[in-house]
Amino acid sequence: APFLARLHERSGGIAQVVADLLEELKAAAPLPRSGTAKAGQKRFTARDVDEADVPVRLAELVVGRLAALDEEPRRVVWAAAVLDESLSEDDLASVAGLPTGSIRAALMTALSEAVLHEPGPGRYGFRVPMAAAAVYHLIPGPVRRELHGRAAEALASRRPVPWARLAHQQKASGRTADWLESVENAAREAVEAGDYALAIGLLEGTLAHSDVRQPTRARLALMLAQSATRGLHSDKTLEVLRRVVDDRALPAATRGEVRIELGKLLLVVARGNEGRAELRAAVDELSNRPALSARAMSVLGVPYWPGSGPLADNLAWLQRAETAAAGSGDAALQVSVAATRAAVMVCVGDPDGWRCLEQLPRESDDPRILQHSAWGLCCAANAAIWLGEYARARELQAEGMKLYARSEVPFAEQVSRGTSLLLDMETGHWAGLATWARLYVAEAGEVLGATGEAMLVLGLLALAKGELDQVDTWLSGAGLSGDGSPVPRVAAASGGRIRLALAREDLTAAAREAAEAWARLQAASVWVWAAELAPWAVEATVRSGGLDTAQEMVDEFAAGIESRQAPAAAAALMWCRALLAAAHGKLLEAADYFRRARKCYQALPRPYEAALVAEAGGRCALRGGLETTTGLQELSAATHELEALGATWDAARVRAELRAHHSTQLPRPPGRPGYDERLSPREQEVAQLAGDGLSNREIAATLYLSPRTVEQHVARAMRKVGALSRHDLARKVRNGEPEG
């Protein structure tokens, strides 16, 4: 969305300019083909539009029209290019340096030659804003510097002063001291207004210049670091902050404070090991500043990222932070550490965490205190989702958002969107969810690490719908890898990747993913986070022949969640025990465990998982042969529940099981059923899965058929409905064309 808005703005909405500008962008940075694009690969951004060359066609048009102008009209056009905004006649006269008597005739000439136009009454500028750049490069250097100087004088007289635009003009005119003062004023004004994107852009560009000296450099660096953890941030932000903390001329305390923000930013963008290293270095640099070091130690107390554990180490950091905060006398810092303590206790399933949350202040005249409490509540809301405490998660999120609003934090909505998407997926509110998640990913643009939860949601939804080619795309993103991303989120993504490998009958890949994911949880030693992973990891291990290893995993999981308040983990443990019982041939015992797991998931509620364990329980009952009626009822219930959610792939698999059982139990009339040119039920099923992107091999694994049989079904279905492709086949079946 920001890219499209900037594209329209810079092109003036002229179709030919849009087309030419897109060609310039593609030539400079080719994008991957849409069918092969992976999450996290290059996408165009608003910054790309700002940095793009002027299209040749537009540049030639501007040069030609400018060449036809005499000196005074040309100076008016130059003035418009230097200010690069719609201007009054007086503004143009002031910057162009023309006498009052000459400006009107010069402006009339520029308008009649279509070099400038009138976008509003008494305002003048370029029809295509990007044309200003083409004109700007044609202005002789000494004249350009002179024009910038007069533009700075004109802007400085405005009220309120447009500090950002003034800073640009002062820099271009060589007034370095004035430029730095205006940048600082502009950045401070932007931060106060919550426009962190503007603040970051100004500060990044300024700090990249070596002529920014102390103490100005220290102040601007700290402002950039604090803005980056609150608003938009990009790779460039990280590069600038890296250079700042490597500057040995910077005072140690300032360097340490900037390093805290850099460490937090690295954690946010899924580079956990680097982030924690920066935070530990900050603690050392701030040994004489206990209040500041407490901030770093508090973040080190969060066990959310790889390399953070074991949990005992995190709790030790928190204890140190609490001691330092208590000695500081800073009430806001004490609330900040208390909020971290409460969020950590909730995320590890400690029942005392809820009491700690209740003690966070909700009333204060200090907006910092409200912000720290809001942060603790929102973090606890996200943590509650991984525990399976969904009602509490919604309450905490709503309360946290209210506190953010009262403390006038403009980015509060951004804080909550990923949590809302995850909460809706877990609780079965799938209608429109994929659309909202894709919109969030698109809108995030250059925001590093902001879309991990949305990508997880998209990957798991794609898996449930059988869009297996999309699962890899979404679950392979940087925010879902094991190197630096949040451990519970990565565990859930690993569960999805294991399921995908199992669906493809790639037991080696499934077992490898299970082992790696389990090792990450062992390192973190927070076993409540195994809820989204454990059943799939155990299944992959069992199917790969590691029954003893699977037993050890289940025992470790059970011991890890003992005394923890984590209903999702308790349900997952029941599922795991059912898998072990089934692997040992104890089918009735397994069916009983599956039914108990189903009740747990229904109570949460987790309708998707409740349907999956109903399917598994039904299969066990049928395999045991002693509870056929119950097994069929469970499979039928699972089918209806999965279809209601939109889990088409899973529903097709359960229907195939039901059909296979009926075909072995019921006598068939002689000969084949006659469907003529109508699709048989099996052909409809195959057609739908083929249209969803599954290969013949994947459809065969889903429906328990041979790939050759699937190939024949697809061919017959395409012939019957006159489809030109597999996608066309699915569309025609959905639209009600010839079927059984």
List domains and CATH numbers for the chain: 2-53 (no CATH), 681-734 (1.10.10.10)
The H or E element containing residue 120 is: strand 117-120
In the numeric block, the tokens 């443990």 are attached to 573
Torsions phi, psi for 115 (to 5 deg): -80, -40
Q: Quote the pLDDT of residue 443.
A: 75
Element (H, E) at 118: strand 117-120
What's the confidence (pLDDT) of residue 608?
97
Query: Measured between alpha carbons, how far is 623 from 581 in angstroms, rounded to an integer?
Result: 13
Q: Of 46, 737, 66, which Cα lies nearest the Cα of 444?
A: 46
Spatial distance between the Cα atoms of 728 and 79, rounded to a whole number of angstroms:
57
Compute the mean pLDDT over every residue in the chain, rounded to the nearest whole number. 86
What pLDDT does residue 36 have?
39
* Half-sphere exposure at residue 308, Cβ-oriented, CA atoms within 13 angstroms: 31
Amino acid at 681: P
Supply the pLDDT for residue 726. 77
The pLDDT, as a whole number, for residue 516 is 95
Residue with tokens 């109570």: 603
According to the model, what pLDDT value does residue 574 have? 97
Pair 572, 530: CB distance under 8 Å = yes
Q: How many CB atoms are located within 10 Å of the residue 253 CB? A: 14
Task: Give the CA count within 13 Å in the CB-facing half-sphere of 329.
Answer: 1
SS3 content of the chain, % helix, strand, coil (to 5): 70, 0, 25
Please tell me the distance from the alpha carbon of residue 20 to that of residue 26, in angstroms, as a whole number. 10
DSSP secondary structure code for residue 668 in this structure: P
CA nearest to 167, candidates 159, 158, 176: 176
Radius of gyration of the chain (CA): 31
Tokens representing 678 are 């109508």
Vertex 222 angle, CA 218 and 224, to 5°: 120
Burial degree of 42 (CB within 10 A; 0-12, 13-18, 19+)? exposed
Asked if 448 and 233 count as a contact pair (C-beta separation under 8 A), the reply is yes
Give phi and psi for 119, each to the nearest 5.
-70, -20
Sign of torsion over alpha carbons 319, 322, 326, 328: positive
- Asked if residues 347 and 487 have their Cβ atoms less than 8 Å apart, the reply is no
User: What parts of the chain have a pLDDT lower than 70?
Assistant: 29-42, 229-235, 270, 408-415, 444-450, 478, 482-484, 626, 662-677, 692-693, 701, 704, 733-740
